[in-house]
Amino acid sequence: MQLYNTLSAKERAALIEEAGKDRLTLSFYQYAKIENPQEFRDHLFLTWNALDVLGRIYVAHEGINGQLSLPADQFEAFKNHLDTIDFLKGIRLNIAIEQDNMSFLKLKVKVRPKIVADGLNDETFDVRNKGIHVGAEQFNELIEDENTVLVDMRNHYESEIGHFKNAVTPDVDTFRESLDIIEADLREYKEDKKLVMYCTGGIRCEKASAYFKHKGFKNVYQLEGGIIEYTRQVNDKGLDNKFIGKNFVFDERRAEKISDDVIAQCHQCGSPFDIHTNCANDACHLLFIQCDACKEEMNNCCSTNCKEIHALPYEEQKALRKGQKNSNDIFKKGRADHLPYKKDLRNIFETLAQKK
């Protein structure tokens, strides 16, 4: 019984090309009580592998978080399977704005302590006491209200390439880091301001809204379905699009274009650009923004040192890496001293001071 992926990304890509079928990229999440995550995980893998589902799915005692792709002609079969699971019946599926058959190349279903690494002790507050969910139309009205504080719950490398107008964009590396910073910097607004949050698909706001209500915020709202669902509603209903730039996504596409605005810049030369890449040096793999001209000049590397190493024969590169730990830059997502045009985002206090 096969319970794990056995094909490489290269082998899977070849099979997708050979099949010649359109694939759908989508995401969903649900907080629910799962008694046996490992058993549930194995059931999902066996069923979804048979449907040619690919993606990254996390299962925990607290629920499921899925980002995946599947053949378009298997979509109904996939939905029917979800409907056989009580807490997933009729769940909203966030269909990607921009489709790419190669968005995922492996099926990974993993059991984790949590479906999002939030660093919270859920026993200390009621995770069911969530904020008010709002759709795109009400969200647009809220963010134009002078009594609203709009907060981006994503990380710095996500909001750097796209965010909502007038949003506070905390300069953080992780979701868990953002929670304490937001709570501390907004403490004087707990009683009289509307705290409105958004993220990619809604999962981070779901937990954060309960946490901030526990911390004393009286008026807490979250964008239902996140940026993905917001964009769908804007397009379907002909609403004003308040999102500027691209929505960062965690698959091979890296981003979806929501508006034509380019608000970021190449981290190496400073020219307007908003496409992330990973440094080609296998000992680095730093995620950063690199324009086409710099990509050609630097051979897809983030520094001269990485370029020189990447140019070496593979065996020499492998020998240099032997016994070495991965560079910390891998986990810093664009934070590196040698990137002269990496923009530090405004912190909450500075953003709010400008709004006063």
For residue 334, what pLDDT is reported? 63
What is the model's pTM?
A: 0.89
Which two three-digit tokens encode residue 183? 């709570």
Of 27, 148, 28, 97, residue with least CA distance to 259 = 97
**pLDDT tens-digit readout, 212-248:** 999 999 999 999 999 999 999 999 999 999 999 999 9
Residues in the chain with pLDDT < 70?
324-334, 343-356
> 38-47 long-range contacts, Cβ below 8 Å, gap at least 24?
38/111, 41/109, 41/110, 41/111, 42/3, 44/109, 45/3, 45/4, 45/107, 45/109, 46/1, 46/2, 46/3, 47/81
Which residue spans within 295-336 are E strands per DSSP?
none
Q: What pLDDT is stored for residue 333 in this prediction?
A: 67
Domains and CATH numbers, the chain: 9-111 (3.30.70.100), 122-240+345-355 (3.40.250.10), 276-331 (no CATH)
Catalytic choice (199, 279, 301, 306): 199
* Integer CA distances (angstroms), 134 to 93, 208, 233, 251, in order: 17, 15, 12, 27
Give the pLDDT confidence score for residue 272 in this predicted structure: 97
Q: Residue 336 has what pLDDT? A: 80
Q: What is the pLDDT of residue 323?
A: 72
- Does the annotation count 199 as an active-site position? yes
pLDDT (0 to 100) of residue 2: 79
- Return the pLDDT at 51: 97
For residue range 265-310, list pLDDT tens digits in order: 999 999 999 999 999 998 888 999 999 999 999 999 999 999 999 9
What is the helix, strand, coil percentage profile of the chain, to 5?
Answer: 35, 20, 45
Q: Which pLDDT belongs to residue 332?
A: 56
Looking at residue 170, its amino acid is P
Q: What is the pLDDT of residue 329?
A: 47
